Every structure is written in C-alpha cells, then in structure tokens.
C-alpha cells in the first residue's frame, strides 16, 4: 500500500480510535469517516450526566469535531452521511447524504465497520408515543433534556446501567422517577444479592422500584403516558425512558454477506477482521472472544470499542507484527447516588447457566482502615474454578473504593491468578486509602480456608429443625435484628464457656452480621467436635447498611 | 503437638496476626504474647492522624486490648513484660516484668519473634533534648500530642512517609512546620521527578521544605531547640520530630545466635522460619525475598507484617501443606494535604544502583474522563525489563485515584505481566470512575510504541544547538510558560502545513505540555523523513499543576 484509502463507517469510539491510530501509523493514508449523525467522537457515556446537569457544558461531550479531527489527524470526516451498501467485489461503499438524499460511491482499500448498536424498541403496543424516549446520541440527549422539567413524573424501563444512570440523573433534575425491571433485581449483570445496596439506595432516595415486571402496553393519554405492566400495575408518566438493551446495527454487514453471530453481531478474528479480510469491524456491533472461559461474548462498552479500533489499525499497517485483541472481560460499574456496584468476569448466574463448576465467597469489609474516619462498608464477591482455584469473576458493592477493587480483580483475572494469589497481593496501604489486610486479601483468605477444608460454608439457613442455629452476634444486635427462624444467641466471646448449651450430636450453623464471627465460631466448634457450617456473608442483607447498628458487630 | 505452647514476643501487627491465626488453627494451644509496652495490636499507621486530630478517638487506635484478645481468642497477653534472653537449648525465654524488674522463664514449643523496629536516633550532638521526639507507639503519640500547640514551630527531620504524615498533621493542628530531608527530594523511595507534586503541595500549604540537607547538631536553648543544618542553615523549633528511618529490634535474636542479614534483620525462610526451626520471625525486624528481582528486601509495613504472621502460624500447624510467603513488593503510598503519591516494585534509582537494565515511560493523564466534572491530573511512571517487557515497578502521583493505579500495577507486577498486558487491562469505566482508556492503558500504549520503534523518547532537553526543538503546544501556553532554551513554537494542528520551517538535515526534538502531542508530532515528522525524538512526559514539571493553564494543552 502506498497511499491506501481507509473508509471508516461510524465515527464514535471504535471508528475514531481506528482512524486516529491509523493516522499515527501512516501519514500518507487517505482516511475518510462516514457518520450518519452530525457528531463524531462524542462521549456516549457522559450523555446521562448532561441530562441531570452534572455535566453542565454540552461542548464537553464533543471530544472531537470534524474540524479538530481534520486539524489534528488530517481526517476527512463526512457527517450526515450514511453507508447504504457495500460492494465487496469492487471494494466500494455507496454513501447517501442524509439531507439531500444524493448518493455516491467511495472506494476503499480497507473498510472499518464501527456502526455501534441502537437501543431496543420492541413492538409493545403504544410504543410510538413520542414521549417514550431512548438514549443513544447527543440528539437523543437534547430531546430528553428539553422534555424534562422539575416535578414531572418519569418511568424508566430497564435497570441496566443506562437505566440506573438515567434514573439518578432525572431524579437529580427534580423528577419523580419510577424504575421498572423485568428481572427480580436491578443491574441484572450482577448476582441478585450484590444489588441489594443499589436497590436500597434507590428507595432511600424515593425512587419507585418495581422488579420482576415489564411493560405490557403503553396507553397514550393527553397529558400522560400510562404504563400498563405485566402484573397489572399501572404507572403514569410524563415521559418514559426505554433502556432495556441494545441491538447491533449490522444490517449493512448482513446485506454484504459478512458472517454474523447468533445474535446478529459481526464475527471477527483476533485482529478484528471480518469474514472479508479487507473489512474490519469493532465496537458494540461485534462479538469477541471471552477472556476467561472459551466462548464468545458481546461487551458493548467504550473501553473494548476503543481498544479494538486500535488493534485493527495496527493490523492494517503492522500486519503479523501487530498484537491481537485478547478478548473482552466485561468489566462494568455503575454509580447510583452515593453507592456504586460493579462486576468483572463471570457472574454466578452466568456460570450456572453455562453449566460451569465454580466456588464463590462473599466478604464484608470497609474501603479503608476502620480506625480512620469515614470507613464505609463494602461487599466483595469472588468466584473461582474449583480445581485450579483460578479466578472467574468478581463483584463489588459499597460506598467508596468499589472501582479500585474491581480493577484489581479484573487485573488478577486477566493474569490468570488464583484465589491463593489474592492472599498476598501487596496493595497500597495508608489509613486514608486501605487497610493492612485489604478486603481483597480477606476474600483470598476466606476462599483458601474453604479450599483447605478449614470451614464449611452455606448461603442458606436450614429448614431442618435438627440443625442448631447459633447466632454469635452481640446480644443487643441479635435482639434488635433477630435472625430469621429459631436461633440461639451465644455472643462469640462467650462461646467457649457455653459449649454445653449445644448438642454435639446435632449439626450446627453459626451466623453473625458479616460472616467473620460466624467463621471464628465455626473454627471453635469444629475443633470441639461439632459438625458445623458457617453462614457465609452474614445476615447483613437484613440490616440497612446505613444503620449504625451494623458497626459494632464487625 | 497435643497442647503446644506458642510464645510470641511482640503483640502488634505480626505477633497479633500470628497468635490470632494460630488460635483459629488450634483451639488447644497455649498461646502467650509478651509485650514490652502497655498495648497490643494497636494501629501504628494511625498514630500521626491522632496527633493532628483527624482521628479524634484514641480508643479507635487500640484495635484489640488484652481483654478482647482473651475473650475472642483465648490468648494470654502479658503486657509490660520484656523478653531478655532466649535459651534455645532448653526452648525457653527469660521474661522481665518491666515494672517490678522481676524475671521468670517461659518455655515454648514454638517461639515467634515479632519485635518490630525502632526509630533511628543517631548520635547527633544535642539529640538528647527532650523536645526531640520520635513516633513508634501510643505513648510516643501521646507525648507528641501533649507537646504540640497551635502556633508552635516544629521541625520534622526526614521526609519519608512518617515525616510527611507528621508534617501534614502538625500543620493541621496549627503548627508552623519546617521539613528537612537529606536527599534532594521528599519521599525518597520515589524517583525525584515523581515527587514534584508532593513538594509543591507542601510549599503551597506554607510548609518550609529544605532538601539535600541534614542536621549537624541541635542546640538546646531555654525556649527553643536550634537545628543547625549541614549547610549552615539554622531552623528554630519548639519541637523536633525525628523520622529518618527505623532499625530492627534484633538484639535478642542476635544474642541467641540467630542468623541476621547485613543490616541486622532476622533472616527467615519462605515459611518465616529463622535459622532455628522452632523459632519464627515476622514483621519489621525481618528481611524477606523480593518479589520482582532475586534479592533480599526489607519492607517495614503493616501489610507484609500481618501476612507474614499468618504464614508462620499456618506453617506451625499445617506444615508442608501451608503456603509460603511469596516475598515483599514494597508498595507504599502517602497522602499530603490534597495530593497522594506512591510506589510499587522497583524505582529507577534502585534499578540503576543495582545495575539492572530497565526502560521507563511516564504518562500524564486524569483520574477519570475529562468531560466529567472534577477531572484532576495524575502522573504515572512505569518501569520494565527491556528484553521481556516484564513490569519491574510503577509510581503514581496526583490528586485522586492514585491508590487505585498503584494497586492495579502492584497486581500486574505480582502476576508477572508485561507492558503489553497493560494495553488491554479492561478496567471499570463509568464517567465518575475512569476513562475508556485509563492512564494505565495509556502507559502500556506508550511503552509498546517505544518497544515497537514507533517513537524515540528522551527525558532531557538537548544542549547541542544543531538539534531543533519544536514546541507543539498552543501559542498562548507556549508564550505563558516558555520552554527552556531555544524552541520554535509550531502548534500541533499547524505542523503538517509548516514542515518547511524545519531543516530535514538536522535532528528534531518535539515537546509539549504532557508528552502526548509531542508524540503525535514525532510520528508526523518521522514519517516525513525527520530524525525525531519526543520529549517524554512533557514540560508539565515546569507548570504548576494547580494552574488552569495546564488544561487546554492536554
């Protein structure tokens, strides 16, 4: 290639990254970006925050403009242009000017498809009401921002991260918000129990949360949109945000005969090449390798999109010397008011659905040393492969330091580390930042105790009346927040002196607030000949994390 | 062992962790802790924060007391007792009661030495003035807290993390503080340039900073201690904090003939066993394996101490089934007012002193997406092994998210990751938490660009007048903060149109504010036939990070 021509369809994350990297590698290339909308390289992930006013300047969201891309990268950016057909045989694409309707052909040596994904809008009766909105680009954002006013009622359908972020931001703008989710939990990527804090934070902020329910139909009134849910419940709204997922914009790729995956995503190899070696694809429209277990995965997020675009450009110009895209992990985080929760790698329900063996442990801790002011609870869940101990996934939830734990665990997963390795991660510790034994170390300890047979865990309270349930929390806590079922309260420091109260012939389950004391108690009892199991993670779920009652028990 | 007796000398981090883990593994063991002071298991790392009032409750620092250790762990804690002699042949230790002076022998099956380290107090003339204080335990802390009053003048000698934390906290209490450090930088563990922000933050808060200077002698006046520095400079103080390092308390171990390292630390194997297999040691008094390069290292920090204590207990009771201590990495962080800086693994100066080959790159970025409010600059330095690309160390400095980057990089180093691996770490991204390409990814990209020969870097401006220095920053910035020496300003977006201004026969160095635009410019020039080198890390060091002028140039 002497003066190769690169044609890029879609100029946001993946497309813009591809073009920028291509320019760094080849000053001489002709690089043209075709973008249907008026904007390129804008900050998708920031859109909700503008609606709520947290991001005040709209300009801040336009990371680059056609003019800056021309000036900085010598890119030929054609906005308001749509690619309507790929002629692979002649290596050209038909481009239609959205405003005039005129069309023209543009040739390419290399074609990059970065069309993205669009919000799902299923054929629910009444869905065409203009007050039912989705959020994909700056124009959608402007439409929502213009339509919202303090005091209005909004219904947000779908509690994934866009739904959660929109809920928070509409609330911030003074709307009263109802959030509806088909699954029995918010943030469905996580395992249910790990979303308890998110849900409680939403309710704490007077957001209505309806779980396990979906929209049967919308009824358009003059002043309101009436949302009829499957359950029969009715929610009245001045506006509705539909955030139930996205589908890849791959009609163009399909029409060109490129190989697609089972859910319509473009199939690419490790260099982001499609089934046509002159055509690359990247971003929300592709499926990639999973980085943990051999399988395909779709991760429609900004990070993978940007890095895939870069990998593709490297391969165009560096060929086999370039480095492959190693696959996606699916790291995600959401902030809702004062709490955050996130995931990296595989969840328990995904592992179960795939029929994969796993073990898991949940620990409750704080983001930094408790003796330093401002310590706040966090919960960490870690999943691993039973035989090898290799990490498969992790989830975190809490007030502060959630992104840090997820990032460390994402790194550990990508490195192929085991739960044993977590024990001796040497993390940065000064009182404002961490603890001598970080929650991640503790998760490693707990997992190893299990693997070494030092303790048996359960996450379910027994129904068998033969089992003795021993609540080892301090008496005031046990009385204020009684354990469910029939439990005998023996505060841990008095346990050794009260072994006689338990029948050594019957099994015992120990429980406490956070799962730590119950482990201590299980060790005491096991060494005294009891068949004992510790209730993992503690009764915490029954305790409002904002209640001061939780602290003395830790 | 049926009812083994464990004797633990020193009941703070390593000793208390050993005892606690031992109890979990063996209910039947007799476990006795011998502690010279009145306190066990207190929060050493919190001491400075109590002096400044940031930690208000002294009780918060007593993580455990003899009574709670008895109740929770059935430990026999003997405070105010000092171990004065180890009789290895008879497996017993002579214990002296500090108050009465009476002594007795205590036998052991297993002895754990966790004596810690004490602050250095070299024989500088005048050092015995009672106003010259060190900080090791709660009593030292009380002494300092009682001696400090708003308006007093303090001199802090030594700018390691205790010196820095004490400086901040004394300032917080309203003292006027002078900080003196023998090296030419604060926080000597880091490479000099990475401490620029810490130093600027200290000065910004009116802390006097004297570098490259030490105390020649103290002169005791009636009302003041006069500190005469090596340079002749004189600082008057109402109190002096001496924080120039620690030495291991290993007289007992030495007298018992245990093997010591070159600097007097106890030599232990991977299970924390000393040269006597019945005697273990852990914490600040031992040297351990380095986790990056084959060597011995001393890391007197809370994290390693706690985990070493645990490893030792595991080995006592689980024997060869237990997991070894993998060594120490030396992760450390300090907060000074609104900034933080830290290190993990090896620094450039340590690698240079050891004669090890390395490469390094420094990137300037922000803790999260710049379009989201509150983005603040951070600087990341990464070091790697030239041949393999394996990470050797990292340093970070900035306002927020410093602990997170250090922890991710510590994990990556421990996993044996390479700079290539950093490119595709999939970290948690939502606007409040990160960016689609995190600073760590950018460090990976920059390192790989170097490894791939896409760009030549330098960290020094040329002295050869033949070299053309091209400043590609925006004109207003280049005029407000001129580059040192003779540079021609060609703002990057105008570079392609102004290639004629440069002589293709002479080498070029490109420079900018943060090292990114200079890289872009180097790519443009290299592809146009120039012999070009990019000035790594940018001129940032010359720009006050608090100045708004820094932002437009990113």
* pLDDT tens digits, one per residue of B87-141: 999 999 999 999 999 999 999 999 999 999 999 999 999 999 999 999 999 999 9
Ramachandran region, residue B158 (left: φ > 0; alpha: ψ -120 to 50; beta: rest):
left
**Domain-located, residue A127:** no
Q: Are residues B358 and B265 in the same domain?
A: no
* pLDDT tens digits, one per residue of B364-392: 999 999 999 999 999 999 999 999 999 99
Q: How many residues does chain A have?
A: 554
* pLDDT tens digits, one per residue of A485-522: 889 999 999 999 999 999 999 999 999 998 999 999 99
**Cα angle, residue B63 at apex, residues B59 and B66 outer, rounded to 5°:** 95
Rounded to whole angstroms, how far apart are CA atoms B513 and B473? 7
**Percentage of chain B lying above the pLDDT 90 cut:** 92
Contact, A381 vs A351, CB < 8 A? no
Question: What pLDDT score does A485 carry?
Answer: 82
Whole-number Cα distances in Å, B352 to A254, A301, B355, B359, B447: 57, 41, 5, 11, 19
Rounded to whole angstroms, how far apart are CA atoms B403 and B415? 18
Q: Are residues A43 and A84 in the same domain?
A: yes
- Min Cα–Cα distance to chain B from A317, Å: 12
Q: How many domains does chain A have?
A: 4
- Min Cα–Cα distance to chain A from B71, Å: 5
- Is B335 in contact with A433 (Cβ distance < 8 A)? yes
**Domain-located, residue A123:** no
Alpha helices by DSSP H, listed for A354-432, are 402-414, 419-423
Q: Are residues B377 and B343 in the same domain?
A: yes
Report strand pairing: A377-384 vs A359-366.
Answer: antiparallel
Give the pLDDT band of residue B545 (cuts 50, 70, 90).
Answer: low
Q: Are residues B35 and B102 in the same domain?
A: yes
Contact, A297 vs A330, CB < 8 A? yes
Rounded to whole angstroms, how far apart are CA atoms B10 and B137? 12
Question: What pLDDT score does B548 carry?
Answer: 40
- Cβ-based contacts of B187 with chain A (< 8 Å): none
Residue B553 has pLDDT above 50, yes or no: no
**Domain-located, residue A124:** no
What parts of chain A have a pLDDT lower than 70? 1-2, 541-554
The shortest CB-CB distance from B415 to any of A415, A430, A433 is to A415
Q: Are residues A380 and A482 in the same domain?
A: no
**Domain-located, residue A327:** no
* pLDDT tens digits, one per residue of B424-454: 999 999 999 999 999 999 999 999 999 999 9
Angle (deg, nearest 10), helices A439-451 and B302-318: 10
Give the DSSP per-residue string, A480-524: HSPPSSSEEE--GGGTGGGGGGS-TTS-EEEE-SSSSHHHHHHHH
- Cβ-based contacts of B305 with chain A (< 8 Å): 436
Which residue did the predictor score with more confidence, B540 or B531?
B531
Contact, A87 vs A227, CB < 8 A? no
* Burial category of B262 from C-beta neighbours within 10 Å (exposed 0-12, middle 13-18, buried 19 and up): exposed
Q: Are residues A23 and A71 in the same domain?
A: yes
Whole-number Cα distances in Å, B276 to A80, B273, B289, B322: 79, 7, 18, 19
pTM, two decimal places: 0.96
Chain centroid offset of residue A523 CA: 36
- Cβ-based contacts of B427 with chain A (< 8 Å): 303, 331, 403, 406-407, 410-411
Sign of CA dihedral A229, A231, A235, A241: negative
Q: What is the dihedral of CA A296, A298, A299, A305, to 10 degrees?
A: 100
**Domain-located, residue A330:** no
Rounded to whole angstroms, how far apart are CA atoms B158 and B186? 8
Question: What pLDDT score does B546 carry?
Answer: 57
Residue B543 has pLDDT above 80, yes or no: no
* pLDDT tens digits, one per residue of A152-207: 999 999 999 999 999 999 999 999 999 999 999 999 999 999 999 999 999 999 99
Residue at which a domain ends, from B427, B451, B475: B451
- Cβ-based contacts of A407 with chain B (< 8 Å): 404, 407-408, 425, 427-428, 434
In this structure, what CATH number is given to the domain that contains residue B255?
3.50.50.60
The shortest CB-CB distance from A372 to any of B46, B321, B430 is to B46
**Cα angle, residue B545 at apex, residues B175 and B378 outer, rounded to 5°:** 100
Residue B248 has pLDDT above 50, yes or no: yes
In this structure, what CATH number is given to the domain that contains residue A495?
3.40.250.10
Question: What pLDDT score does B386 carry?
Answer: 97
Residue B488 has pLDDT above 60, yes or no: yes
Residue B540 has pLDDT above 80, yes or no: no
Q: Are residues B33 and B107 in the same domain?
A: yes
Q: Are residues A361 and A389 in the same domain?
A: yes
Q: Are residues B140 and B152 in the same domain?
A: yes
**Domain-located, residue B332:** no
Q: Are residues B345 and B447 in the same domain?
A: yes
Which H or E run includes A383? Answer: strand A377-384
**Domain-located, residue A80:** yes
Give the pLDDT band of residue B349 (cuts 50, 70, 90).
Answer: very high
**Domain-located, residue B330:** no
Give the pLDDT band of residue B481 (cuts 50, 70, 90).
Answer: confident
The distance in angstroms from the start CA to the end CA of chain A is 65
Residue at which a domain ends, from B398, B424, B451: B451
**Percentage of chain A lying above the pLDDT 90 cut:** 92
Question: What pLDDT score does B459 carry?
Answer: 86
User: What are the two backbone dihedrals, phi and then psi, of residue B93, each rounded to the nearest 5 degrees?
Assistant: -125, 135
A278 Cβ contact partners less than 8 Å away, ≥ 6 residues apart: A88, A91, A108, A109, A110, A111
Q: Are residues B255 and B112 in the same domain?
A: yes
**What b-and-e string marks burial along A234-251, b requiring 16 or more CB atoms within 10 Å of the CB?**
ebebbbbbbbbebbbbbe
- Min Cα–Cα distance to chain A from B9, Å: 20
| E strands, B309-358, in order | 332-336, 339-345
Ramachandran region, residue B355 (left: φ > 0; alpha: ψ -120 to 50; beta: rest):
left
- Cβ-based contacts of B141 with chain A (< 8 Å): none
Average pLDDT over residues B38-55: 94
ipTM of the complex: 0.96
- Residue in B with minimal Cα distance to A44: B431
Q: Which residue range forms the structural domain that includes residue A209?
A: 132-244
- Residue in A with minimal Cα distance to B524: A27
Q: Are residues A9 and A108 in the same domain?
A: yes
The distance in angstroms from the start CA to the end CA of chain B is 65
- Is B431 in contact with A45 (Cβ distance < 8 A)? yes
Residue at which a domain ends, from A274, A289, A321: A321
Contact, B415 vs A415, CB < 8 A? yes
């Amino acid at each position: 290639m002497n003066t190769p021509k690169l044609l890029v369809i879609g100029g946001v994350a993946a497309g813009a990254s591809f073009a920028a990297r291509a320019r760094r590698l080849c000053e001489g290339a002709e690089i043209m970006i075709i973008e249907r909308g008026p904007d390129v390289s804008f900050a998708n992930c920031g859109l909700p925050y503008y609606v709520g006013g947290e991001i005040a300047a709209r300009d801040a969201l336009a990371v680059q403009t056609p003019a800056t891309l021309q000036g900085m990268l010598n890119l030929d950016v054609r906005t308001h242009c749509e690619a309507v057909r790929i002629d692979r045989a002649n290596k050209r694409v038909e481009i239609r000017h959205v405003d005039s309707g005129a069309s023209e052909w543009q040739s390419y040596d290399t074609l990059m498809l970065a069309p993205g994904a669009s919000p799902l809008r299923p054929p629910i009766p009444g869905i065409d009401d203009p007050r039912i909105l989705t959020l994909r680009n700056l124009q959608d954002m402007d439409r929502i921002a213009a339509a919202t006013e303090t005091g209005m009622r909004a219904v947000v359908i779908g509690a994934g991260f866009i739904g959660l972020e929109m809920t928070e931001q509409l609330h911030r703008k003074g709307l009263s918000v109802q959030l509806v989710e088909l699954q029995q939990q918010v943030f469905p990527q996580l395992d249910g129990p790990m979303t308890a804090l998110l849900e409680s934070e939403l309710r704490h902020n007077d957001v209505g949360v309806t779980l396990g329910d979906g929209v049967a139909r919308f009824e358009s009134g003059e002043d309101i949109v009436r949302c009829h849910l499957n359950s029969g419940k009715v929610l009245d709204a001045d506006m509705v945000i539909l955030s139930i997922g996205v589908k890849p914009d791959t009609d163009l790729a399909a029409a060109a005969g490129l190989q697609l995956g089972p859910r319509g995503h473009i199939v690419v190899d490790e260099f982001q090449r499609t089934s046509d070696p002159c055509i690359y694809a990247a971003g929300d429209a592709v499926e990639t390798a999973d980085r943990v277990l051999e399988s395909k995965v779709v991760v429609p997020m900004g990070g993978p999109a940007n890095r895939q675009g870069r990998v593709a450009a490297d391969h165009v110009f560096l060929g086999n010397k370039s480095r492959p895209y190693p696959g996606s992990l699916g790291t995600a985080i959401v902030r809702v008011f004062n709490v955050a929760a996130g995931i990296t790698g595989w969840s328990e329900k995904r592992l179960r659905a795939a029929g994969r063996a796993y073990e898991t442990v949940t620990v409750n801790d704080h983001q930094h040393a408790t003796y330093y002011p401002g310590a706040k609870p966090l919960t960490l869940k870690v999943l691993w492969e039973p035989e090898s101990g290799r990490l498969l996934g992790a989830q975190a939830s809490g007030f502060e330091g959630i992104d840090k734990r997820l990032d460390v665990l994402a790194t550990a997963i990508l490195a192929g580390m085991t739960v044993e390795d977590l024990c001796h991660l040497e993390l940065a510790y000064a009182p404002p930042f961490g603890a001598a034994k970080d929650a991640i170390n503790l998760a490693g300890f707990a997992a190893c105790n299990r693997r070494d047979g030092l303790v048996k865990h359960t996450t379910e309270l027994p129904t068998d009346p033969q089992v003795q349930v021993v609540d080892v929390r301090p008496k005031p806590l046990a009385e204020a927040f009684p354990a469910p079922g029939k439990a005998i309260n023996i505060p841990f420091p008095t346990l050794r002196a009260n072994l006689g109260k338990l029948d050594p012939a019957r099994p015992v389950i120990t429980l406490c607030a956070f799962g730590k004391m119950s482990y201590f108690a299980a060790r005491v009892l096991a060494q005294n000949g009891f068949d004992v199991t510790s209730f993992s993670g503690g009764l915490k779920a029954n305790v409002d994390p904002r209640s001061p009652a939780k602290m003395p028990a830790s």
